[in-house]
Chain A
Amino acid sequence: MARYVIARADEVAPGTAKHVSVAGREIALFNVKGDFFAIANRCPHEGADLCKGQIIGLAESDGPGHYRMTRIGEMVRCPWHGWEFDIRTGRSYCDPARTRVKSFDVSVAKGDRIEGPYQAETFKVTQEEDYVILEV
């Protein structure tokens, strides 16, 4: 693994993202409330630039008619089809995988977030003084 300086820390303000190319990889670098995270820039769905997506919170609900916005600033919405990704983990919110469902199985876990295997690749990013360092 090599380490690269990919940005000055003050280049990427909290709540914003920056596209960087490093070692042949296209990276979307996010500043979430002062911490840096990096995921592959290309949306795994059709290749849109995740660095251009809206940085939003997570819409959650306890049931029809109930709405709660949590984790504000921690999710990015693909600029094209709106798929939601957790910036920290790169995991997509909606699970496109199919699992066999037993007839009238009502035992599915309630209130769980559906975390899909649909993953945006993540990269280890640290801040050292004024710089953002990426390992790849």
Chain B
Amino acid sequence: MNHAPSPSNFTAEPLPTRGGIDCDVHPPAPETDALMPYLDDFWRQSFEMRGFNRLNLAMTASPPNAPINKRPDWVGRDGEAPIDTVRRAVFDELGASLAICNPLHGAQILHSDDMGAVLCRAVNDWLAEHWLDRDSRLRGSIVISAQNAELAVEEIERRAADTRFVQILLLSMNDEPLGRRRYWPIYEAAQRHDLPVAIHAGGSYRHAPTATGWPSHVIEDYIAQAAIAESQLLSLVAEGVFARFEAIRFVFAETGFMWVPSFFWRADKTWRGTRAETPWIKQPPSELVKRHVRFTIQPADALEASQIERTLVHLDCDDLLLYASDFPHWHFDGQAALPAAFGAELGRKILRDNPLATYPRLREALAKEQTA
């Protein structure tokens, strides 16, 4: 098993990441049994009776032991608590000042609305107690299932007062594209609380991950996440989410970003000929995306610096990208999270300014720290 290191043709010294705001960190998913203390008698007893508390809820979308999901030096050393691994990698080595935890958990993709909602709530309770309470540099995303918008909104309302929760976390694959109106109560709550909505790679596999059917390999599924993100982006535009929710922000997490320019070209071109079917789209799709959507930089799918440089020229928008390590996933070695190809000035924007502009609650936290 020979896993190649990240390409050596990024020859220039990577940019420093000290002081950055890491917008995509994955605490290891809790064992199902670890969620039992957060449940009421009915659910706890029911789960224990059914053996549900012993079930492995790892998701098809992200097998935890696949090499790309498990950077070798980011695996816990003997006796190292998971939170200490995160501290070592994200804060000590990469020098982040804040990190946003995006727990990826099977609770988000269960068929039973009620079971899913109850477990998502438990995941959020667990995150608060075991992570947010223990390190003031950590922030959280509110884990919900998109499947039942009403129950999702209840959970958002429950968490909104805890300002350590800075965004709402959706997975990318659901029953229907995320622009569809059945999901709009979630966006209404998000906008009301000024919480960005993350759409993170992965999801429920309610149907094949491609229009061609079910690929054979994990690597094909992984690669397809970029295509799925493109479809989600166009769904948000086409359904009029940005027309209806003028202040909403979305963060596409772990979906890549190098594909965005060709998406812009094609979406704008198609819009000009199909506008009359969706007359609420009043600006080119690329403009709407630049206004409302941000993208985390891992994975940075490039082999050479010039590919990133030219893609940035094509994107023509400095506000789009957010720094992330995607801990513990393996996209770079050492501290090379921010290739030199971004350039020092844009690199600083990506590290701090863009995340701060995206997450108002982070600004409040920093402001409080400064006055403390």
Interface residues of A (CB under 8 A from B): 56, 59-68, 81-84, 93-96, 98-101, 103-106, 108, 112-114
Chain A residues whose C-beta falls within 8 Å of the C-beta of B291 in the assembled complex? 101, 104-106, 108
Q: A residues within 8 A CB of B282?
A: 112-114
Q: Is the CB of A101 within 8 A of B243?
A: no
Interface residues of B in 266-292 (CB under 8 A from A): 268, 271-277, 279-280, 282-284, 286-287, 290-292
Q: Give the distance in Å from the alpha carbon of A64 to the alpha carbon of B277 in the complex.
A: 11
- Find B272's partner among A81, A99, A100, A108 (CB 8 Å cutoff): A81
B247 within 8 A of partner (CB)? yes
In the complex, are the beta carbons of B287 and A84 less than 8 A apart? no
Contact residue among A59, A60, A81, A103 (Cβ-Cβ distance under 8 Å from B357): A103
Flag whether B244 is at the interface (Cβ < 8 A).
Answer: yes
Which single member of B279, B286, B316 contacts A61 (CB below 8 Å)? Answer: B279
Across the two chains, which residue of chain A brings its CB closest to B360?
A104
A82 touches B268 (CB 8 A): no
The complex places the Cα of A60 from the Cα of B279 at a distance, in Å, of: 5
B290 touches A64 (CB 8 A): no
B181 at the interface (CB under 8 A from A): yes
Q: Taking the nearest CB of chain A, how far is it from the CB of B185, in angstroms?
A: 14
Sample (10) of A-B pairs whose CB atoms are under 8 Å apart: A64-B244, A67-B279, A68-B279, A95-B284, A100-B317, A101-B317, A106-B246, A108-B291, A112-B282, A114-B283
B240 within 8 A of A: yes
Q: Contact partner of B274 among A63, A64, A82, A99, CB < 8 A?
A: A82
Is B247's CB under 8 angstroms from A104's CB? yes
Q: Scoring B residues 280 to 311 as 1 if CB is less than 8 Å from chain A, else 0, what string do you get?
A: 10111011001110000000000000000000
Closest chain B CB from A25 CB (angstroms): 25
Question: In the complex, A113 Cα to B240 Cα: how many Å?
Answer: 16
Residues from chain B with Cβ under 8 Å of A66 in the complex:
280
CB <8 Å contact, B239 and A96 = no
Report A-chain residues with C-beta under 8 Å of the C-beta of B105: none
Bound CA span A96–B272, Å: 9
Whether A64 contacts B240 in the complex (CB less than 8 A), given A81-B272, A106-B247, A112-B282, comes out as yes
Chain B residue nearest to A60 (CB atoms) is B279
Extra contacts, 12 of them, besides A84-B275, A106-B246 (Cβ < 8 A), are A59-B275, A59-B276, A59-B277, A60-B279, A63-B240, A63-B243, A63-B280, A64-B244, A66-B280, A83-B273, A98-B286, A103-B357
CB-based contact B272/A101 at 8 Å: no
The interface residues of chain B lying within 8 Å CB-to-CB of A59 are 275-277, 279
> How many A-B contacts if CB must be within 8 Å?
73
A68 to B272, CA, bound (A): 18
Contact of A63 among B244, B284, B286 (CB under 8 A): B244
Report the Cα distance A56→B277, complex, angstroms.
14
Is B249's CB within 8 Å of the partner chain A?
A: yes
Which one, B240, B246, B276, B357, contacts A84 given CB within 8 A? B276
Q: Which of B249, B280, B284, B286 contacts A64 (CB 8 A)?
A: B280
B319 at the interface (CB under 8 A from A): yes
Given the complex, which residues of B lie within 8 Å of A94, measured CB to CB?
Answer: 271-272, 275, 284
Report B-chain residues with C-beta under 8 Å of the C-beta of A84. Answer: 275-276
**Contact yes or no, A101 B287, CB < 8 A:** yes
With A84-B275, A84-B276, A96-B272: A104-B284 Cβ-Cβ less than 8 Å: no
Closest-by-CB residue of A relative to B291 is: A101
B242 to chain A, nearest CB (A): 10
Query: Is there contact, CB below 8 Å, between B240 and A104?
Result: no
- List residues of chain A with CB within 8 A of the CB of B284: 94-96
Q: Which residues of A are found within 8 Å of B357, using beta-carbon distances?
A: 103-104
Do B268 and A96 touch (CB < 8 A)? yes
| Interchain CB contact under 8 A, A98 and B275 | no
Residues of B with C-beta under 8 A to A81: 272-273
Query: Which residues of B sit under 8 angstroms from A114, Cβ to Cβ?
Result: 282-283
Q: Are A64 and B181 in contact (CB under 8 A)?
A: yes
